Structure 1
Amino acid sequence: MNSTNVIELNEQSKNEAQSCLVCGATPAFHCYGSTACSSCKVFFLRITTLDTPIPNCQNNRICPKQDFRGRGKAKCKFCRYEKCIEMGMIPEITARRSGCNLRERRSDVGNGRTKLRFESVDLPDIIMDVEKPCTSSSPGPDVRELQLVAMGLPTPMIMNEKIQFAKCLVHLEKLLLNDEQTVSVNYGFDIDLHVPISKALLNPGLVCKRVPIGFDLYGSAHIPYHCTLQLSGRRIARAAVLVLDWIRAIPEFWYLDQEDKELLCCRQYLPQVLFTDYYYTYKHKFHGMLMVLGSRIAPEDIEHFKEMKASFGLILEYGLKRIIPCMKRAEIEDEEYVLLKNIIIFSSAMGFSDQSAEISKNAHAKYSQLLFQHLKKKLGSEAKAFERFMMLMGLPTYIQSISHKMLPQFGRHILLKEMGVFGKLPEDVFCRGFL
């Protein structure tokens, strides 16, 4: 058989498959385990979801010889249903969605029903039924179906409520910072930097307590003498807890592989800490640099102390010349800041498995879209939103750049165990995240 005959046979079989196996109408498509037209599909769906039994045939089952494409009342329901079963249509495939048991005309939604089958059903049971997983080919419940469910509830149920996701992240940020104007910065808390990243990821509280982060300018910046020798270690511990708490609150994070979770936390330590420091420096309009635990570095301090210039000179210069001016031009606020934090977290999937890389890519697109939609709603113009969006998206690039520039200094503190920076946690962060 030559190729021409094969193509002709394929085209012939394709044309034959486009005819309904029940009534012979065209066009037809694959549904419920067989090939049927739209009319037969709707008939099969409705008759399999009825609570009443199918009426018997009044013509001694000779109706299959009739034309099922005739007028509606002239067609026998029983024989047409038998023909559907004979042609391979499967009743169990239908009625997999919760809405299939709640059929109602769209024009009648909200006008009340004569009978409600779920008057005594509790709210938790309804929610479990709506969220019950099904096969991948079955779509989830739409708003109309949820409205029908809510009509039978003893208490009202809010439908299609838009959650302000950025506002939720802002509240989460305030909760994690634990900053209050009336509470002074605490430097005497216990720390444990010997906790590996795997255990710290499960319980960040093992590293240290969630003391006030100290960005509030009204907090006390007085550092007790016995805490100065371990000041950098205390900053790393409290900053690590802050970063881990935030990452653990991101839903996409828990879908990553375990190795990729630990890699992400190690890799994002420096970018997240630096971005947080820069933002609150900008927010509080401080002329220098605000850091974790109430530390404040001014440009005049850098000029007087050479050791401080070696450690913080680059951070201060880069922030004052590039990052903070970019924040001012973009007029960044809390909502944009928290969304940018997640964009920075998922900005790179290097070293991830294929599954984790795909999750990271989708998460980056999700939070970028949320940022753009937030700006569009805030500014009221798509053109202005796009311009502001492009300004803000320059910040992740700056943060990644300064993070790489600070790697030598960060590694020096860890290798030389300076200022209390020693233990398994900082070693994991540096070695697994940047080497």
Structure 2
Amino acid sequence: MNVEQSEEHLSSEWNNDYERTCLVCEAPSNGYHFNAPSCSACAAFFRRTVTLNRHFECSHDNACKINYVMRVICRACRYKKCIEAGMDRRAVQPRRDSILGRRKIKYNPLLKHIDSSSPNLQNQVTTYQNEDNSFVFIDSNTEVPRIYATRSNSLSSASSTSSSLNCEALHAQTRFPQLQENAFSQTAATSPDGFHYNHQKQILSPFAFSSKPILADTILEKLVSEEIKANDRRKILYCDCFLDELLSEKTLGLPYVFENLRPLKFTHIRKEIRTMILISFEWLRSWDYFSFLPINDKKVLLRKYVLYQNILDPAYLTTKMGYPDKFVMTNGMYVSMSDESNTGWEDEPEISSETKTMIYKPLMKRIITQIIEPMRELDLKQEEYCVLKALVVWKDVVLWVSATTKTLLNKETEALFASLNNFYVKQGFDDNTIARRMGGLILLLSNVFSVGMECIEDHQKIEFFNLWELDKLLIKLLKVR
């Protein structure tokens, strides 16, 4: 055999020895990892499993298909195949970021669901520690609260996944009984009315709406409570109020009296717009489900609520305190709407009287004719106004949010109408009156949407032509999606 033949023979032997396919998932292999030809994904999985000393259990017959094109792979069978492919646990370097290592969990994946308020929960949990202090075992007969996410049938092949965070929290409560009540009450509070959530990701679970509907008895009470809080904030921010008035028993009412009203200065409005946005944000954060929404859905809700609150709040205040001569803003300032008075429309250093009149007077007149006058015809009660504010936001954002959030908002809308109907019944209204008032509110929605679009257009013109300097955050919130 000559030199060239010898080199070709060695080269062919090398190519035959080198596996170009991962022996675990059949993906293209980029070399040997832990003494076996594998892809980087399987190598990373094997490294995590060994360094974290994880143990998985297959819910089938330990014969699940392992292939890189699958979205969900059984971890127990994948680890088993890693070992069969020749991966060596001893080739994995130990973790350097911890001396003791983390606790891992080995548990029966088929969990029973009970209500989180079940008594003696602590006594039902049995924990054991093995010699290396690396596992927490949960008795397979233990019933755990329903705060754990429901599992989909479509993900059954991934049933070997360990819920380490949830079980560690359960173990911590067993070790520290004094923390149990607070920990479970906080977790339960994050899933109001029995809805399921993925607590770690702070995102609505796909199974959030399989449980009982939102309670209509409490939703109006919550809206009224938040309106009272918003009025208290306005009293502190925008007018002089006595401590007795501020600290007295709270009832639904207006934040101002006639003596608190003062002529409008557009410069003050621009400086105080952030506090108005903050009040809107606090209202949204009080909603039980807001913290679980995807970030894009939160943005849409904040944009819409800031827009409609700054239309509806002045409209309602004007209905009760200013009509027909004054248009009252949410900060207690007003402009004159009569031809005989120029109050609030004077020249200012940052904006001329002509610019004010050109931009804002047509918008205010439209609010009066399309929103304020229908409110007066209905003799809108403040409870109805609270429902209207929520309803106009829920109905407008459903076109722009995720399917899960849309389902939630539709349930909220149903609960709003049911709660409003209960309020009407308590007021002693007959069926015809209830139908007329509900119909009036629904018809009012289209007017509010129309005025909202004009408001957005006007503020885009102000920014584009640089007519006067608006708050940058307000401009971002009022941009067309």
State the TM-score, normalized to the length of structure 1. 0.52
The residue aligned with 1:171 is 225
Structure 1: unaligned runs, 5 residues or longer: 1-91, 102-121, 142-160, 187-212
For 1:289, what is the secondary structure of its paired residue?
strand
String of CA shifts for 1:228-254, please: whole Å, max 9, x gaps: 573342243222112111111122333
For 1:251, what is the secondary structure of its paired residue?
coil
User: Which residue of 275, 290, 293 maps to 1:253?
Assistant: 290
Structure 1 counterpart of 2:239, which letter? V
Deviation of the 1:279 alpha carbon: 0.8
Residues 1:414 and 1:376: Cα distance change in structure 2 (over 3 Å): farther
The residue aligned with 2:384 is 336
> In 2, Cα distance between the equivalents of 1:398 and 1:175?
27
Structure 1 counterpart of 2:281, which letter? L
The residue aligned with 2:368 is 320
Deviation of the 1:277 alpha carbon: 0.8
Residues 1:419 and 1:388: Cα distance change in structure 2 (over 3 Å): same
For 1:347, what is the secondary structure of its paired residue?
helix
User: Which residue of 397, 404, 409 maps to 2:446?
Assistant: 397
Q: Taking every aligned residue pair, what percent have the same amino acid on both sides?
A: 13
The residue aligned with 2:311 is 274
Deviation of the 1:416 alpha carbon: 4.9
Deviation of the 1:322 alpha carbon: 2.6
The residue aligned with 2:271 is 234
> In 2, Cα distance between the equivalents of 1:134 and 1:244?
23
Deviation of the 1:96 alpha carbon: 5.5
Structure 2: unaligned runs, 5 residues or longer: 1-109, 120-177, 197-206, 241-253, 343-352
Residues 1:93 and 1:429: Cα distance change in structure 2 (over 3 Å): closer
String of CA shifts for 1:3-36, please: whole Å, max 9, x gaps: xxxxxxxxxxxxxxxxxxxxxxxxxxxxxxxxxx
User: Which residue of 408, 412, 415 maps to 1:363?
Assistant: 412
- Whether 1:347 and 2:395 are equivalent positions in the alignment is yes
**Does structure 2 retain, via aligned residues, the 8 Å contact 1:215–1:293?**
no
The residue aligned with 2:435 is 386
Structure 2 counterpart of 1:318, which letter? R
**Does structure 1 retain, via aligned residues, the 8 Å contact 2:327–2:334?**
yes
User: Which residue of 245, 256, 262 maps to 1:221?
Assistant: 262
Structure 2 counterpart of 1:319, which letter? I
Deviation of the 1:383 alpha carbon: 2.7
Answer 1 or 2: which has greater helix percent. 1
> In 1, Cα distance between the equivalents of 2:403 and 2:113?
36
Residues 1:283 and 1:178: Cα distance change in structure 2 (over 3 Å): same
The residue aligned with 2:332 is 294
> In 2, Cα distance between the equivalents of 1:134 and 1:170?
23
Q: State how 1:203-222 maps to structure 2 within 5 Å.
A: 215-219=256-260, 221=262
> In 2, Cα distance between the equivalents of 1:395 and 1:409?
21
Deviation of the 1:262 alpha carbon: 0.8
User: Which residue of 309, 314, 333 maps to 2:357?
Assistant: 309
For 1:218, what is the secondary structure of its paired residue?
helix
Structure 1 counterpart of 2:459, which letter? F
Residues 1:312 and 1:163: Cα distance change in structure 2 (over 3 Å): same
**Does structure 2 retain, via aligned residues, the 8 Å contact 1:215–1:291?**
no
Pairs aligned (count): 273
**Does structure 1 retain, via aligned residues, the 8 Å contact 2:297–2:402?**
yes
For 2:262, what is the secondary structure of its paired residue?
coil
**Does structure 2 retain, via aligned residues, the 8 Å contact 1:277–1:290?**
yes
Residues 1:308 and 1:371: Cα distance change in structure 2 (over 3 Å): same
User: Which residue of 458, 462, 465 maps to 1:413?
Assistant: 462
> In 1, Cα distance between the equivalents of 2:286 and 2:236?
27
> In 2, Cα distance between the equivalents of 1:326 and 1:379?
22
Structure 2 counterpart of 1:170, which letter? V
Higher relative contact order (CA 8 A, sep 6+): 1
Structure 2 counterpart of 1:221, which letter? R
- Whether 1:430 and 2:478 are equivalent positions in the alignment is yes
The residue aligned with 1:185 is 239
The residue aligned with 1:375 is 424
String of CA shifts for 1:322-343, please: whole Å, max 9, x gaps: 3122112222111111111111
String of CA shifts for 1:332-357, please: whole Å, max 9, x gaps: 11111111111111012122222122
> In 1, Cα distance between the equivalents of 2:225 and 2:423?
16
RMSD of Structure 2 on Structure 1 (CA): 4.3
Please, which moves more after superposition, 328-337 or 296-305?
A: 296-305
**Does structure 1 retain, via aligned residues, the 8 Å contact 2:239–2:332?**
yes
**Does structure 2 retain, via aligned residues, the 8 Å contact 1:311–1:409?**
yes
Deviation of the 1:276 alpha carbon: 1.0
Structure 2 counterpart of 1:311, which letter? I
Structure 2 counterpart of 1:342, which letter? A
> In 2, Cα distance between the equivalents of 1:95 and 1:398?
47
String of CA shifts for 1:392-417, please: whole Å, max 9, x gaps: 22222211110112222111333455
Residues 1:416 and 1:185: Cα distance change in structure 2 (over 3 Å): farther
String of CA shifts for 1:29-71, please: whole Å, max 9, x gaps: xxxxxxxxxxxxxxxxxxxxxxxxxxxxxxxxxxxxxxxxxxx
